[in-house]
Amino acid sequence: MRKLELTAFGEPADVVALKTVPEPALGPDDVLVAMEAASINPSDFLLIRALYGFRPVLPFSLGAEGVGRIVKTGAKVDASLRAKRVLIIPNLEQGTWAEQVAVPVHNVVPVSDTADPLQLAMVGINAATAWLLLEKYVRLMPGDWIGLTAANSAMGETLVRLAGLAGVKTLAIVRRKDAAEQVMTFGGDLVVLQSEHLHGDVEAALGGKQLALVVDMVGGTVGGELARSLKPGGAIVSYALLSGRFPILAPGDFLYRGLSFHGFWMMNWVRSAPRTEIREVYQRLGDLVATGSLRASVDHTYPLDRFKDAFAESLKPNRGGKVLFKFGAA
């Protein structure tokens, strides 16, 4: 079977190799998963370039998330799981950019057998991150407003869709007019173009309403300007730093308006949350995908042997959706 392996840290096209290896051996508590689809995320490239919060020992089997079907079970695993579709928990303990993956059974979550595997393959990181950002920091009620940056990204789309399902309104910040139109197709309520007059434009768009939560993946001045429109007791959560700079926030806002700031890294939740919570979140998101309530745009799919094309496409700016590896007849 074939898999993608990180051989050194550097530029993805230069340091990732397609390897042919024997079928993975199973331990008694393992399952063998024949992969159907696995997504490519910005965090994958950060890891490859040694810029991520996790630095693996090389060589390292790449790919954090994905879905597939169990084709073999270890001696201590319930054999009725064979042929079941499962989501692989994205804890970086097993590489999903592979035709087959041996996974401890506690690292898989059964999901719909009939849903689109491409959509399920995007649940592990983006959908779970969006769900947790909306659930963990403030108690959002129908009619509340949240603000988000880089809203035309895959994460932005998922946030907008999940917020809409909960009756929560979204004010989205983007850099281009075509991106604003894209966010409206996701179901965004208000979209503001990023500019030097951002705070005034946001205030005008809100028309006296205030935000309960800001979720920021840009950093720098953008998230800080958006946070000025938070209501007292509101929260700002940073889950990426596309600008390369920490969010610039006014200290007085925290002192006088009781705002709170949080950093979110998906790996911390995956590593520390009870397995029951993790399974519940993924099963709930998988059910939303299965009913068609939650979906994300797909830009391109590639077979594993075209990984360099997949990387080049995934690194392009202004894409129309996610790039994934697709295996077999998925």
Q: Are strands 30-39 and 100-104 parallel, antiparallel or unpaired?
A: antiparallel
Task: Determine contact, residues 93/63, Cβ cutoff 8 Å.
Answer: no
User: What does the pLDDT average to over 134-156?
Assistant: 95
- C-beta separation of 233 from 259 below 8 A: yes
Looking at the predicted structure, is the pLDDT value of residue 139 above 60? yes
- Cβ 190 vs Cβ 204: under 8 Å: no
Q: Given a cut of 80, is residue 295 above it in pLDDT? A: yes
The model carries a pTM of: 0.94
pLDDT of residue 244: 80
Mean pLDDT of 288-306: 96
Distance, CA of 193 to CA of 213 (rounded, Å): 19
Q: Is the confidence at residue 259, as pLDDT, over 80?
A: yes
Domain boundaries, the chain: 2-125+268-326, 137-263
Peptide bond into 59 cis (omega under 30): yes
- 317 pLDDT band (50/70/90 cuts)? confident
The architecture (CATH level 2) of 137-263 comes to: 3-Layer(aba) Sandwich (3.40)
Give the model's pLDDT for residue 330: 55
Please say if the pLDDT value at position 251 is more than 60.
Answer: yes
Q: What is the CATH number of domain 2-125+268-326?
A: 3.90.180.10
- Identical fold between 2-125+268-326 and 137-263: no
